Amino acid sequence: MGNSGAKWESTPKGLMLLGEYEHTIDDKNRLTLPAKFRRAFVDGILLTRGMDGCLNAYTPSEWARTVTDKLAALDPLSQEARRMRRFFYSGASEAELDRQGRVMIPGALLEYAKLGREVVVAGVHDHLEIWDRTAWRTELAEVEGGAESAAERLAQRN
């Protein structure tokens, strides 16, 4: 598989992260980011739990826009809002890429996403998703099988 349709480009609204890459996590829990994605993370990387059993990786600016701003808008008296904040913030880890473009993934995040040695790094517009390779293949089969019906349902909402 390697990569498929992957590239990144600057857009007026920021960075677009696209494509999927198969990589491995080394014995020190370091993941080498695909070369196409490294420039996006020169200012740092924030790793956190993803919604579907994967990890999400954000640039600092996308973290602020996508996570912090949206969670700040939630009612702090709401139990669901507090739970969402706990989900994202307690599992988050700030890091820098080393000279080889690697990031160390904390053990708690490896455990959450059930990441083994073989992973897939997928660009999902404004962030990366890091999946166990087997879990990614399962997710991708479900996505591909249901994309048309999901598109129809979403189109009916507009």
The C-alpha atoms of residue 104 and residue 28 are separated, in whole angstroms, by 7
Give the dihedral of Cα atoms 118, 1, 96, 38; nearest 10 deg.
170
CATH node for 8-133: 3.40.1550.20
**Is residue 14 very low, low, confident or very high in pLDDT (cuts 50, 70, 90)?**
low
Asked if residues 122 and 34 have their Cβ atoms less than 8 Å apart, the reply is no
pLDDT digits (tens, 9 = 90+) for 100-152: 999 999 999 999 999 999 999 999 999 999 999 999 999 998 888 777 777 77
- 66 burial level (CB within 10 Å; 0-12, 13-18, 19+): middle
Domain parsing of the chain, residue ranges: 8-133
pLDDT digits (tens, 9 = 90+) for 35-63: 999 999 999 999 999 989 999 999 999 99
